[in-house]
Amino acid sequence: MLDDIAEVLFTRDQIEKRVLEMGAAITEDFAAHAQAGEGIVMVCVLRGAAIFMADLARAVDLPLEMDYMAVSSYGDQAKSSGAVRIIKDLSTDVKGKHVIIAEDIIDTGLTLNRLRQDLLSRDPASLSVAAFLNKDVPRAEEVPCDYVGFSCPNEFIVGYGLDFAERYRNLPSICVLKPEIYQ
Ligand code: IMP
Ligand code: MG
């Protein structure tokens, strides 16, 4: 797998440290809600955010539910198709609960904005976004994001849950894939 990697952007240790910081920030921001007995649901955008959410949820020192949604925007291509489809819906009713979306990476922002609209229509108490990576690209539309792990360059990123054609998700670090692999 490592032969296909151009560069390691963030190591396992850097990732761990940053995710703990994000968890601490969420703990601080939602402590009063939890204390008031209000529900918190962390929503994982499958499959890319599975590893991130597993770490983030354990870094939050509050009672919360974990639920999973699958959307499709990329197929096996390295470029966004523009269309976002919900493939697997939540098992939980999020009405009246504080929803925190855990997303792996924001590229065009299409996925996240579509998901935000969809979840807002379910009447949550609040909706926030925790994105592990924010790709450094110019965007037509603003993408609201409350917690960001790292900014990353406009390259194809793999590892820590992120894939290319379902590979490289199990790399423990965040890496840039060699362009010849996906071109
Ligand atoms: P967006 O809709 O363009 O923001 O893309 C969102 C989704 O595309 C992310 O949740 C990822 O699953 C996937 N994606 C975007 N950029 C990358 C990348 O560099 N590597 C792997 N997956 C990516
Ligand atoms: Mg994703």
Residues with CB under 6 A from ligand 1: 45, 48, 73-74, 80, 103-112, 156-158, 162
Q: What is the pLDDT of residue 141?
A: 79
pLDDT for position 50: 98
Q: From ligand 2's centre to the CA of 92, what distance in Å?
A: 20
**Between 140 and 35, residue with greater pLDDT:** 35
Task: Tell me how far apart the alpha carbons of residues 151 and 153 are, in angstroms, rounded to a whole number.
Answer: 7
Q: Give the distance, in angstroms, between the CA of residue 81 and the centroid of all CA atoms in the same chain.
A: 19
**What H or E segment, with its residue span, contains residue 104?**
strand 98-106
Q: What pLDDT, on a 0 to 100 scale, did the predictor assign at position 110?
A: 87
In degrees to the nearest 10, what's the CA dihedral of 41, 170, 176, 68? -20
Reported pTM: 0.94
- Name the closest ligand to CA 145: 1
Q: Which atom of ligand 1 is nearest to the CA of 111?
A: 2
Rg of the Cα atoms in the chain: 16
5-64 tens-digit pLDDT: 999 999 999 999 999 999 999 999 999 999 999 999 999 999 999 999 999 999 999 999
Residue 139, preceding peptide bond in cis (omega within 30° of 0): no
User: Which of the four pLDDT bands, split at 50, 70 and 90, describes residue 1?
Assistant: confident
Residues serving a catalytic function are: 107
Task: Report the C-alpha gap between 101 and 78 in whole angstroms.
Answer: 23
| Helices and strands, counts by H and E, the chain | 4, 9
CA of 13 to the centre of ligand 1 (A): 23
Q: Which residues of 3-22 are buried (b: 16+ CB within 10 A; e: fewer)?
A: ebbeeebbeeeebeebbeeb
